[in-house]
Chains A and B, each alone.
Chain A
């Protein structure tokens, strides 16, 4: 892939108000690389870098937008041309799961698989943290086995406990704290993925590789 210099830059770096630019990366992988480049060498004045599946938002109150735009266009080119990061470059986390979730049977039925195979498919792949959102520490894990892509609940639960391991659409997640939630619960983990006293407070940050492992309750 080339870096599309020149006229293309205006379309891929969008203005998001006076203080921010939204860079269109086109893919999660390029988002992660640009995010890493920006954190390594943070341009002056940048206060927030928020990667998404196809964008990176860069907030820089008071920065010169033209200079920042030029810098971001350059870094986007580097991120697009870079070789894929080696697996595990941003760490691998193993998440122990007791697969006794209230939606396990429904997921088996929706996917047409026996419960045992739902667990095997959930533990059988390495997932990657795409981005965080919805709640502090809530990581959208990408790379879920397509056989497990099931719709979210039609009526969300008013409370899902911390540590609940869930799936919805193409994603999986570990609920970082008790919250309402509409994802289907496969099980629970004793792993703490959110701790405001830790640095960073989120265990699962963009680019982190994740493996689920079945354990007994």
Chain B
């Protein structure tokens, strides 16, 4: 049987997930009033790009790696693209599978289509399943053909924190409230990836062909987060916004998909008492009693009771999502 058509083989096999990996799409917005976080890719533009590179809709589910380190096997072969924090990639290709020439986008000649793989290069990678493996070439920010039985190995990122792996067809795990995302706060969605897990792939038939050879990797930004004051800047000393922007903060090890916890100048409140619980947005710079701010990411709670001094610009949310423990962060008023 053609391995691409076999639903048992149309999976991603997690050989190793790295330090922390989850399935993510663009989340489940619209349920905040029911206590449900939005969730979804912490660095959404990177997931969208990875999906575009393999001809998926931008909201298809992919894998979000934290500190890279994953090994993913594709029994039926698949087109993949890796974006976000740039990692070295290697491909272990069974002998007899599509040669290394078929693994890079440079080998993708356009025009004559094959069945559902988006490229004629895919035609050369049959019956390779259990043969001895040899290394193949692969790189981030480009579509990569992983031949049948091939394994994609993602190293540690050279910069940034979260790397995205999109697979043509998307990951077809069950959706919960309209999303396949793992929500680290509430536990909705699939469990984090574990060795041996097999994630089913959605159908690739009907997807547009892969037409992009490579996307220019975006420059690794410094940790500058532009913020708009409020909604609760009036809970703080008049110089608190200035203090927030005056000196860099350092990203704490206790950061996660819920938020980036920071250490630095404590922000002084002028109001005592508790703020009644209120709706929170992604990018909110929430200040607990310690005065050490937290920048909310995708899995932030939909409501909270600590005042928000400022909110990070939407365009800089992806920057916040790529901050590593120990990184410096500068806030800038806009």
Which residues of A does B touch, CB under 8 Å? 14-20, 22, 35, 47-57, 59, 61, 131-140, 177, 196, 200-202, 205-206
Contact = CB atoms under 8 A, between A and B. Distances in A.
The winner among A59, A133, A138 for most chain B CB atoms within 10 A is A133
Given A57-B280, A57-B281, A15 B230 contact: yes
A48 B32 contact: yes
A131 B281 contact: no
A100 B322 CA distance: 48
Interface of B: 29-36, 38, 176-177, 186-188, 228-232, 276-281, 283-284, 301-304, 308, 311-314
A187 B239 CA distance: 49
Top 6 A-B pairs, shortest CB-CB distance: A57-B279, A17-B311, A50-B279, A133-B303, A14-B231, A132-B35
A22 B278 contact: yes
Secondary structure type dominating chain B contacts? loop
Contacts of A52: 276-279, 303
The winner among A15, A18, A137 for most chain B CB atoms within 10 A is A18
B32 A16 contact: no
B241 to A, nearest CB: 14
A18 B278 contact: no
Given A18-B313, A136-B34, 9 more contacts: A17-B228, A17-B281, A17-B284, A22-B278, A48-B38, A49-B33, A132-B302, A133-B35, A135-B35
Contacts of B29: 47-48, 59
Contact of A134 (B35, B279, B311, B314): B35
A201 to B, nearest CB: 6
A19 to B, nearest CB: 6
Contacts of B281: 16-17, 19-20, 57, 59
Contacts of A131: 33, 277, 303
Nearest to A11: B234
A19 B283 CA distance: 10
Contact of B35 (A48, A54, A138): A138
B30 A137 contact: no
